[in-house]
Amino acid sequence: MAAALEHENQVFLDLFHQDGLVICARGLGIDRILLRFLRLYCEPASLVLVLNTSPAEEEYFIDQLRSDGVVHLPQRVTNEITSNCRYEVYTQGGVLFATSRILVVDFLTNRIPSDLITGILVYKAHRIIESCQEAFILRLFRQKNKKGFIKAFTDNAIAFNTGFCHVERVMRNLFVRKLYLWPRFHIAVNSFLEKHKPEVVEIHVSMTPAMLTIQTSILDILNVCLRELKRYNPALEVEDLSLENAIGKPFDKTIRHYLDPLWHQLGAKTKSLVQDLKILRTLLQYLTQYDCVTFLNLVESLRATEKAFGQNSGWLFLDSSTSMFVNARARVYHISDDKISNKSKVSEKMDIKEGKELKRELVLESNPKWEALREVLKEIESENNNCEDLGGPGQVLICASDDRTCAQLREYIISGAEALLMRLYNKTFGKDERAGEAWIKDRKAVKSKGNAKSDKGPQAKKAKVEACSKQNKIMKKQDLTLTQMMGKTEEEDVGEEMEGYKELSSSEEINIEETKPEDFHLNLASDAYYGIFKNPLTIIHPLQGCSDPYALTRLLHEVEPRYVVLYDAELTFVRQLEIYKASRPGKPLRVYFLIYGGSTEEQRYLTVLRKEKEAFEKLIREKASMVIPEEREGRDETNLDLIRDSTSATVSTDTRKAGGQEQKSVQQTIIVDMREFRSELPSLIHRRGIDIEPVTLEVGDYILTPDICIERKSISDLIGSLNNGRLYSQCISMSRYYKRPILLIEFDPSKSFSLTSRGSLHQEISSNDITSKLTLLTLHFPRLRILWCPSPHATAELFEELKQNRPQPDAAIAMAITADSEIVPESDKYNPGPQDFLLKIPGVNAKNCRVLMNHVNSISELVTLSQDKLLEILGNAVNAKQLYDFIHISYAEAISKAKTQR
């Protein structure tokens, strides 16, 4: 690993001497600081737990420490290590990456030696809310260990911008008193990075007139949709829903944040507007990100899909919409004048098939950024030819936003714009050979008129080209509806482009050699790269969508490029490049920054910059006025957050009971299934002063008393369990072994407290409805009770009330009950198999079943009884007749009897 930078040393020393929360600017290397702490504690003498890391991040940290020569590497505690072996792992010391569920269970069962823990490092600390598992772990740790440290790290300042006193609440959950802020404009960071600035070449690419017109049209429509949304929902008059924010990436989350709690109350118009905003934002992204053919394909699908047209909120009929459609087509083709004069005026609403009857002249407008990229690569090539002073040619790294863009850029550099656009046109709109031939002839004529700057630069080097490392992701392109198109994953998009490598037109006019690119494999940690030239090494890598979050960081240090071309702007990676340059003083680095001038792409980048700056300014103001109690760290018994007591201070003493003497209270206990520790509920129950016993339960999720068993279901889990029949078998088991079986339906507090929205209620009752299935469930299990809880907090409160003045459950008995148990705890007289069979016979119900079993020893004896004897046992003539008829009447008699009754 590269040597630590000046500001990193300062951050490390501050946090080492006093626990706290460090908030860094994005890309400034919060992972590097955490890595230094990991290296410090990678020794058997200490035991340090790391919370909130993903498997990919853990792998990266372990790889970095291994390359630094660390002997006692961190261990990962997952469910692959059995519970009996975990104590040994903990006592070996060093750094441990453990899943939250395992740590909670081990703290509760005292399997982890709490007093031996040196401290806890918390990554991505902005996610630590009161009810999350990590906050529960920290609370358990502080209750049992008053000396260990807690150090927290995050690089997401914007996350602290929402809610009231968010940063103070996070610090309270972390049990830290100090807040360390390190924005990019911090004087220490700024002065240091200014000394080691990379050479930056900003290239503001001009959009074509058609692209500018389309962008203006989409922005106009977006503005109209936002105004309509606020008109229908006056409560949404908030500055977050502005046009500037609407073009940013987090806008979908923002709008759902406001609308989710009342989604079931919204009308069809509002829901349609939300969907339209999503579509329009996708159009804006496609306009600057991809080529003219891909954009037109998406636009045509909007018009062709009847479903989208029928549910549209009305923006398709605006003038701006017409302008967008006209210009999108004009970028790809135009209809020749002679045909238009013959056919009067072609309607804008013409069907695509009608359009194909007219003679198209292909335009296939090239992406302006492609030309800029070609010029940059030519400049780098010429510099590499005269690079004796720098010790040989420099490696080149091109960064684009996603896999699809990378695939297109690779094909463009290899084959040229003409071949790429022609292939996409043929694949998307069918082979219009006459139009294609005419376009190629026109292009050849232009070239023959002394145009020296032809597109053959990259083609001359085609023999050096590496086959793409992701060539196996090939998927067949189909005619997609709009909803399919919007829902496609990035991998499918890549698949679409990859298919084209096999479909490159073999037409002689295109003048592409049939030679296959030579394959060579680079031994790089990241497998997401797209290789182009081997010497000097030139590769393209996506900025997003990689399975490894540190793929680009690894690539930078492995390839050590001299030239980096940012085809798409991304704030985190720009900062990463600054840190990369500062960590390699004296080595040259030139960054080419391609961006469309005056575009939404540029505005999006500037908005992200502004928002982070404002978030840090707000945090600085909050830090100045923050009042932090002395006992915040919980190192003594005065911290109220560590007290587990459900009774409030205002509760008065009951003087009727022995003159107000203090009564002996029994410690409340709830038995919880191991699998339930993925949810927030156990943490909230523990917070209310109730002890939790984690065990593996086969029947139920929570055992409150010896009689009360609860099966907890979230809404998605409830729907799945009802559909696949799992809930039915769970209810059978609960009803068999517990007197009071309960189904708890728990809602997400950020969503509406409603099972079905008003719009989905129909006059006709369907057996497939969730409500119908729940009704059948309650009819089938008369003893089953259903609890509806709007949030986990409400559930914890309800559990506490249900347990009042009731005996505590026994974990050994609860664990012994399995779905196949033959002995019923409260009554071992009856075999459950025949009992279930009896309950399904007409005339037998839950009320008379026990009476019948007391008088009759077996099913064979029941068959021999007369109707009078059955009446005597059951005490109800109707039930006795139903049961007797069911046993003795043949199927044919029963059918004829039913017909006569009709």
The predicted pLDDT at position 462 comes to 34
Q: Which contiguous run of DSSP H or E holds residue 772?
A: helix 770-780
Q: Residue 798 — left, alpha, or beta (φ > 0 → left; ψ -120 to 50 → alpha)?
A: alpha
pLDDT exceeds 70 at position 196? yes
DSSP 294-338: HHHHHHHHHHH-HHHHHH--SGGGSHHHHHHHHHHHHHHEEE-HH
The DSSP bridge partners found for residue 713 are: 745
Interatomic CA distance for residues 725 and 752, integer angstroms: 26
Interatomic CA distance for residues 385 and 817, integer angstroms: 78
**Rg, Å, the chain Cα set:** 35
pLDDT exceeds 70 at position 516? no
Interatomic CA distance for residues 469 and 407, integer angstroms: 10
Neighbours of 195 (CB within 10 A): 9
The predicted pLDDT at position 469 comes to 36
The predicted pLDDT at position 674 comes to 87
Interatomic CA distance for residues 386 and 55, integer angstroms: 45
The predicted pLDDT at position 664 comes to 55
Give the lowest-confidence range in 213-222, 463-472, 641-650, 686-695: 463-472
Is the separation of the CB atoms in 677 and 104 below 8 Å? Answer: yes
Name the nearest CA neighbour of 685 among 746, 730, 741. Answer: 746
pLDDT exceeds 80 at position 745? yes
Name the nearest CA neighbour of 648 among 681, 688, 690. Answer: 688
Band of pLDDT at residue 626, cut at 50, 70 and 90: confident
Eight-state DSSP code of residue 679: S
The predicted pLDDT at position 854 comes to 83
The predicted pLDDT at position 152 comes to 93
The predicted pLDDT at position 339 comes to 47
Span 258-263, average pLDDT = 75
Q: Specify the 3-state DSSP secondary structure of 600.
A: helix
Contacts 24+ apart (CB under 8 A), 617-624: 618/160, 618/161, 619/23, 619/157, 619/160, 619/167, 619/179, 619/181, 620/181, 622/165, 622/167, 622/168, 623/167, 623/179, 623/181
The predicted pLDDT at position 388 comes to 66
Give the lowest-confidence range in 387-401, 478-492, 556-570, 664-678: 478-492
CA distances 899 to 892, 894, 895, Å, are 11, 9, 6
CA distances 866 to 65, 268, 728, 870, 887, Å, are 83, 62, 34, 6, 11
The DSSP bridge partners found for residue 596 are: 205
Name the nearest CA neighbour of 711 among 726, 735, 696, 730. Answer: 730
The predicted pLDDT at position 312 comes to 65
Interatomic CA distance for residues 665 and 78, integer angstroms: 38
CA distances 537 to 394, 465, 578, 831, 865, Å, are 8, 10, 22, 75, 91
Tokens of 528: 């997401």
Q: Phi, psi at residue 400, to the nearest 5°?
A: -125, 165
pLDDT exceeds 70 at position 353? no
Band of pLDDT at residue 484, cut at 50, 70 and 90: very low
pLDDT exceeds 70 at position 289? yes
Span 327-340, average pLDDT = 74
The predicted pLDDT at position 689 comes to 85
The predicted pLDDT at position 225 comes to 87
pLDDT exceeds 90 at position 249? no
The predicted pLDDT at position 505 comes to 32
Name the nearest CA neighbour of 540 among 330, 398, 748. Answer: 398
Give the lowest-confidence range in 159-173, 193-207, 634-648: 634-648
Q: Residue 208 — left, alpha, or beta (φ > 0 → left; ψ -120 to 50 → alpha)?
A: beta
The predicted pLDDT at position 51 comes to 92
H runs (alpha helix) in 202-318: 209-232, 243-246, 251-259, 268-289, 292-304, 306-311
pLDDT exceeds 60 at position 652? no
Give me the half-sphere count of Cα atoms (radius 13 Å) on the Cβ side of residue 124.
8
The predicted pLDDT at position 851 comes to 83
The predicted pLDDT at position 346 comes to 39
**Quick check: bond before 536 cis, omega within 30?**
yes
The whole-chain average pLDDT of the chain stands at 78
Eight-state DSSP code of residue 165: T
Q: Is the model more confident about 361 or about 482?
A: 361
Start-to-end CA distance of the chain, whole Å, equals 87
pLDDT exceeds 50 at position 372? yes
Burial class (CB in 10 A: 0-12, 13-18, 19+), 318: middle
Band of pLDDT at residue 742, cut at 50, 70 and 90: very high
pLDDT exceeds 60 at position 705? yes
Band of pLDDT at residue 151, cut at 50, 70 and 90: very high
pLDDT exceeds 50 at position 406? yes
CA distances 79 to 18, 76, 84, 101, Å, are 34, 10, 12, 9
Band of pLDDT at residue 4, cut at 50, 70 and 90: confident
The predicted pLDDT at position 456 comes to 37
Band of pLDDT at residue 491, cut at 50, 70 and 90: very low
Q: Is the model more confident about 347 or about 687?
A: 687
**Residue range 97-133, pLDDT digits in tens:** 988 888 988 888 888 888 889 999 999 988 888 778 8
Is the separation of the CB atoms in 93 and 48 below 8 Å? Answer: no
**Residue range 762-812, pLDDT digits in tens:** 666 666 777 888 888 888 888 899 999 888 888 999 998 988 888 888 888
Name the nearest CA neighbour of 402 among 275, 294, 280. Answer: 294
Tokens of 742: 């309960």
Interatomic CA distance for residues 281 and 298, integer angstroms: 12
The predicted pLDDT at position 660 comes to 53
Rounded percentage of the chain residues whose pLDDT exceeds 70: 78
pLDDT exceeds 50 at position 649? no
The predicted pLDDT at position 659 comes to 53
The predicted pLDDT at position 496 comes to 43
Name the nearest CA neighbour of 482 among 299, 277, 321, 289. Answer: 299
Residue whose pair of structure tokens reads 């016979």 in the numeric block: 841
The predicted pLDDT at position 437 comes to 58
Interatomic CA distance for residues 756 and 771, integer angstroms: 8
Q: Phi, psi at residue 481, to the nearest 5°?
A: -80, 170
The predicted pLDDT at position 181 comes to 92
**Residue range 442-465, pLDDT digits in tens:** 555 544 544 433 343 333 333 333
